Amino acid sequence: MQGRATPGSRLVDVLPASPKVSADWNPFSLFVIDATPLQASIAFPDLALGLYTAGRHRIHRRMGRRVVHGWSDPGTLNMTPPDIDGSWEAEGSSHAIVLTIPHAYLSRVISEHWEADPRGVEIAPQFLARDCVIEAVMVRLALKAHHDCDSLYVTSACEFLAHHIIDRYSSLSKAAPRYSGGLGRRLNAVVDYIEANLAGPITLRELAGLAGVSARHFERAFRQSLELPPHAYVLRRRVAAARSLLIEEAPLTMAQIAKRVGFSSASHLACAFRRHEGYSPTQFRRIHSQS
């Protein structure tokens, strides 16, 4: 990095190695990271977006008083609002893209385009969330950082991201639906079982037995907990596992990857992958080999 000190420089201080790529697009900063820290504690003065692109590890994170945990699957996103103290511990390092958007920039967008007082607007933290819009823009920005910088594209992309974040994740957006019930603490055992058995068949009866409830009750409670039916969640986890293997295990063929993550064939994998990601596994591997 050159010139002014950026909020992202705090991130560099806790990394085990220098970023693969860094870009200072005043007032935005972007980093492409080959190894995220196993543990760290950091607070950004600006909004920080962290997108995992490879590696799949369990992470425990504290944001303020809230403690959460989950898996750093490729495509999952962490969004940390300004001045939120946070710390995390991970079982392994991942590849990631980090983008910081200045608090002053967000305030201007809120004031000028949303005609609201930015002092009364809050952005909700996100942990291992999925947002295909943010993912697509950040991957494209990382590619720009690798090659020639197009300042007009960067400025437009970051302004678009600011509007998207305010529209979807701030107190100006429509309230998200509230869910009651669910599986509570039993959900962890179910999710861990799914992660450990993606390569083989996973039945609703098995998962319900693990949770100690009937299949009918389990399906309803699982949906309340994760906002997805069990079969859709398992399919998503298999696609996420395939994403990781496509990046980290270049010698593996599509058929080998399909077998490892529980698809019956390479064509079955390709069909599910395209439906979830918008492009084929081969295209995904080619795109991410350049980032």
Q: What are the DSSP calls for 203-237, one per residue?
A: -HHHHHHHHTS-HHHHHHHHHHHHSS-HHHHHHHH
Q: From CA 72, how far away is CA 59, in angstroms rounded?
A: 7
Find the angle CA(88)-CA(91)-CA(95) to the nearest 5 degrees.
80
8-169: which CATH architecture? Sandwich (2.60)
Could you tell me the pLDDT band of residue 150, with boundaries at 50, 70 and 90? low
Residue of 57, 88, 53 lying closest to 72 (CA atoms)? 57
Token pair belonging to 257: 């990857």
pLDDT at site 68? 83
Using the 8-state DSSP alphabet, how is residue 20 labeled? S
Rounded to an integer, the average pLDDT of 41-58 is 87
Superfamily of domain 229-291: Homeodomain-like (1.10.10.60)
Q: What are phi and psi of 29, to 5 degrees?
A: -130, 140
Rounded to an integer, the average pLDDT of 214-227 is 86
The answer to whether the CB of 160 falls within 8 A of the CB of 137 is: yes
Res 179 pLDDT > 80:
no
Q: From CA 168, how far away is CA 124, in angstroms rounded?
A: 9
pLDDT at site 64? 67
The answer to whether the CB of 228 falls within 8 A of the CB of 236 is: yes
Cα separation values, 159 from 88, 170, 201, Å: 29, 15, 44
The answer to whether the CB of 234 falls within 8 A of the CB of 202 is: yes
Cα separation values, 181 from 178, 213, 221, 240, 274, Å: 10, 13, 6, 27, 33
Rounded to an integer, the average pLDDT of 242-247 is 87
The answer to whether the CB of 60 falls within 8 A of the CB of 67 is: yes
Q: Which residue has the higher pLDDT, 183 or 104?
A: 104
The answer to whether the CB of 19 falls within 8 A of the CB of 12 is: yes
Average pLDDT, the chain: 84
Res 148 pLDDT > 80:
no
Helices (H), strands (E): how many in the chain? 11, 10
Residues near 164 by beta carbon (within 8 Å), at least 6 away in sequence: 133, 134
The two most distant CA atoms of the chain are separated, in Å, by 61
Q: From CA 99, how far away is CA 142, in angstroms rounded?
A: 9
